[in-house]
Amino acid sequence: MPYGFLDILATPSVQAAQRDNGSRRQWEEFSGDRISDRFTENEAAFIAARDSFYLASISESGWPYVQHRGGPVGFVKILEDKTLGFADFRGNRQYVSLGNIAADNRVALILMDYPNRARLKILGRLAAHDLTKDPDLAERLRDPGYRGAIERGLLLTLEAFDWNCPQHITPRYTPAEIAPSVAPFHQRIAALEAENKALRERLAPFEANTSSG
């Protein structure tokens, strides 16, 4: 069965590297049930829970360029089973990725779930859209309450995706992810502080009498 993601990337030099390292037959004989040319509910749920990703584009000089993109949880949105979109928030105004996709629209995305040690890789073609001319798209990409300035919309047409194994992914946690685990400790500390305050108030008259005597 075709392995869409590797079918795109397995150039002759990649195949040679696989043969040299003893894995070429594994991929030639791959027979798993692997849908990779359209997003399923599994990918949609994973993407909706992300607040950042890494975007790789190709410069006209031949150098790859990798950029971190961030926003509120869910700012990357599945619009159709082969299309995702996200708002392009104003950053340092270098516009390297924007310029790159104007010349070559092929990109790669890596989305990470560090706590659960999961990684989704996406290959696609990325296009910029003027949201002032497409209010419906602007509304779909907007995140109410997020103050980042939106300069344009970016839509990716999926070519293929792949899930990585969890090896070598170090779990990392955001403050929001840690908060539920430490909440009982904060509650216990608050209760102890309240008890101490009440005890101090009860002992205050005795301490006053002792000091006056």
Task: Name the nearest CA neighbour of 121 among 87, 155, 77, 165.
Answer: 165
pLDDT score of 212: 62
Q: Which residue do the tokens 């696609």 mark?
A: 124
Q: How far apart are the C-alpha atoms of 207 and 213, rounded to whole Å?
A: 10
- Per-residue pLDDT of the chain (213 residues), as tens digits, is 467 888 899 899 999 999 999 999 888 877 666 678 899 999 999 999 999 999 999 999 999 999 999 999 999 999 999 999 999 999 899 999 999 999 999 999 999 999 999 999 999 999 999 999 999 999 999 999 899 999 999 999 999 999 988 889 999 988 888 889 899 999 999 999 999 999 988 888 877 676 665
pLDDT score of 48: 96
CATH T-level topology, domain 35-164: Pnp Oxidase; Chain A (2.30.110)
pLDDT score of 203: 85
pLDDT score of 31: 65
Beta bridge partner(s), residue 129: 153
pLDDT score of 2: 61
For the chain, give every domain's residue range. Answer: 1-33, 35-164, 177-213
Beta bridge partner(s), residue 10: none
Single-letter amino acid, residue 93: R
The whole model's pTM is what? 0.84
